Amino acid sequence: MAGASAEYDVVIVGGGMVGATLACTLGGSLLKVAVLERQAPGTPPGDDYDLRVSAITLASRTLFESIGAWPGIERRRVSCVREMRVWDAGGSGEIHFAAAEMGEDCLAHIVENSVIVAALQERLARFTNVHVVAGEVAAVVPSRPAEVQLLDGRRLATRLLVGADGAGSLVRLAAGIDSQALPMRQKGIVATVRTGRPHGQTAWQRFLPTGPLAFLPLPDPHACSIVWSADDERADELLALDDDAFVSELAAAFGDRLGELRSASRRVAFPLALSHAKRYVEEGLALVGDAAHTVHPLAGQGVNLGLLDAAALAEVVLDAESSHKDIGAFHVLRRYERWRKGENLTMMAVTGGFRYLFGNAWPGVTTLRNLGLSFADGASPLKRFIMRRAAGLDGDLPRLARRGVAS
C-alpha cells in the first residue's frame, strides 16, 4: 500500500548473490529481515547458458551448503574445475594447478550467476523471518533508525541498514562514504563458446599484452564461458566484429589447446575497475560486496570476497544479538570491518598487480614473469599454499564458510 511503513531489524538493499546470501545467513534467526530488490524474483534459468558466471571457491561452496542453498545450485547447473592452466603469451612460462595435489576433487565450481540467484531465492522463500520486498529506492536516510524510502511511498525503517547494492551503491553514497577507484582502462568481454576438444574440467587462462583471457568449463564438455579482459580500445574493436571474425580473433589469442573454436554466443562487456570504500561501516550501517570493494576478475575472487563479507557480517550481527548487544552499534560493526578490510585490500593489490605485471611488454619484465611462473610450477609447497588460499581452505574464515563447523 502506498505510504505504508514497516520496521525491521535488518534491511538489505540489493538482493543479488551477496545480498541474498546475507539474508539466508540470517534466516531462521529472531531478527526480522527485509531484502529490497528492484524487481520481484525473475524467471528461472533457461536452456541457454547465462553469459555471467562465477568461479565459486570451496569456502563459498561450504557457505552455500551451510545455508541450505547448494542443493538448489547443484540441481540446476554446476561445473567442477579439477585443473587450471595459466600461461603467458609472451614466453614459455606456465603453471599447472590440480585439485588432486591438495587432496580435493575440485579447485572451484563454475556456476552461472542466474543459477546462484535462483537457488538463493528458493531458499529465502522458506524463511518466515525474511521478507523479500520489490521496489525502486527513492531515498536512503542513514540515521538511527535508518530508513529506506521507495518510489511508491513505502518506508522501511531498520536498526541496521546493509548496502549490498553494487559498485554504484546508493547506500554508500547516502552515508557519505568515499570510495577510491582506480580505473583499469579495460573492459571484460563475456560470451559462451563451443570448442572442438573437450575442456576436461580445466580452467584455462592466458595472459596477453592487452589483458588476460580465461576459458571456464561449463557442464557441457565442449562449452566454455570466456572472460576476455582487454584494454578499452582493443575491447571496442572486438565488440564491433561479426561473430565469425570474433571467433577468429579469439582463436588467434587463445591458441589451439581446445581445438577449433566452432562458435560464440552474443557478447556483452562491462568496465573493469579497482575500488575500495574508505569505511565499511557507520553507526547503524554496513557495506558488503561490490558496494565496499571491486577487484579485477582475473583471479575469479570478486563474488567470493563478497560472500565472505556476508558470512562475516552475519556472524558479527548474530553474535551481538545473542549477547543482547545493539546490532547497529558502531563498535559492534567495527569487528566486521576489521575482519574483512585487510583480506579485501590484499586481494585488490594482488589482482591489480597481476594486471600490470602481465600487461607490461618490457623484455626484462617478460623474462622475470615467465621465470616466476615456471619456478612456482615446480615448487610444490608454494603451489599448495596458493591453491589452498585461492580455494578458501586457509585463512580467517567465518564459521559458516569453514568445513566441519555446524551451522
Within this chain, do residues 309 and 371 fall inside the same structural domain, yes or no? yes
Residue 208 belongs to a domain: yes
Question: How many Cβ atoms are within 10 Å of 164's Cβ, its own excluded?
Answer: 32
Of the three residues 215, 244, 272, the one that is the final residue of a domain is 272
Within this chain, do residues 63 and 209 fall inside the same structural domain, yes or no? no
Of the candidates 257, 266, 281, the one whose C-alpha atom is nearest the C-alpha of residue 175 is 281
The tally of domains found in the chain comes to 2
Q: What one-character DSSP code corresponds to residue 50?
A: P
Q: State the pLDDT at residue 291.
A: 96
Helix (H, G, I), strand (E, B) or coil at 70: helix
Domain extent, residue 364, equals 5-80+110-181+273-401
Of the three residues 240, 272, 304, the one that is the final residue of a domain is 272
Q: State the pLDDT at residue 1.
A: 45
Convert the pLDDT of each residue in 305-334 to its tens digit: 999 999 999 999 999 999 999 999 999 999
Distance set, CA 268 to CA 52, 55, 213, 265, 335 (Å): 9, 18, 15, 10, 38
**H or E element at residue 14:** none
Within this chain, do residues 166 and 233 fall inside the same structural domain, yes or no? no
- What CATH number should be reported for the domain holding residue 210? 3.30.9.10
Q: Which stretches of the chain drop beneath a pLDDT of 50?
A: 1, 353-367, 370, 375, 406-407
Q: State the pLDDT at residue 274.
A: 83
Q: Kindly give the interhelix angle for 17-26 and 302-322, rounded to the nearest 10 degrees.
A: 20
Q: State the pLDDT at residue 374.
A: 54
Within this chain, do residues 260 and 280 fall inside the same structural domain, yes or no? no
Within this chain, do residues 248 and 343 fall inside the same structural domain, yes or no? no
Q: State the pLDDT at residue 173.
A: 96
Question: How many Cβ atoms are within 10 Å of 129's Cβ, its own excluded?
Answer: 16
Within this chain, do residues 291 and 149 fall inside the same structural domain, yes or no? yes
Of the three residues 272, 288, 309, the one that is the final residue of a domain is 272
Within this chain, do residues 268 and 280 fall inside the same structural domain, yes or no? no
Q: State the pLDDT at residue 286.
A: 98
Q: What one-character DSSP code corresponds to residue 67?
A: T
Within this chain, do residues 135 and 278 fall inside the same structural domain, yes or no? yes
Residue 91 belongs to a domain: no
Q: State the pLDDT at residue 89.
A: 72
Q: Are 120 and 45 in contact (CB under 8 A)?
A: no
- What CATH number should be reported for the domain holding residue 14? 3.50.50.60
Residue 95 belongs to a domain: no
CA dihedral (191, 195, 201, 207) positive or negative: negative
Within this chain, do residues 312 and 253 fall inside the same structural domain, yes or no? no
Residue 407 belongs to a domain: no
Residue 100 belongs to a domain: no
**DSSP secondary structure string, 119-157?**
HHHHHHTT-TTEEEEE--EEEEE-SSSEEEEETTS-EEE
Within this chain, do residues 339 and 197 fall inside the same structural domain, yes or no? no
Task: Compute the 3-state secondary structure of the chain and give helix, strand, coil in percent, each to the nearest 5.
Answer: 40, 30, 30
Within this chain, do residues 380 and 326 fall inside the same structural domain, yes or no? yes
Within this chain, do residues 126 and 64 fall inside the same structural domain, yes or no? yes
The CA distance from 124 to 116, in Å, is 12
Residue 85 belongs to a domain: no
Helix (H, G, I), strand (E, B) or coil at 34: strand
Residue 148 belongs to a domain: yes
Convert the pLDDT of each residue in 67-126 to its tens digit: 999 999 999 999 999 999 988 876 667 788 899 988 899 999 999 999 999 999 999 999
pTM tops 0.75, yes or no? yes
The CA distance from 37 to 7, in Å, is 17
Of the candidates 141, 164, 125, the one whose C-alpha atom is nearest the C-alpha of residue 27 is 125
Residue 86 belongs to a domain: no
- Residue 284 C-beta-side C-alpha neighbours within 13 Å: 16
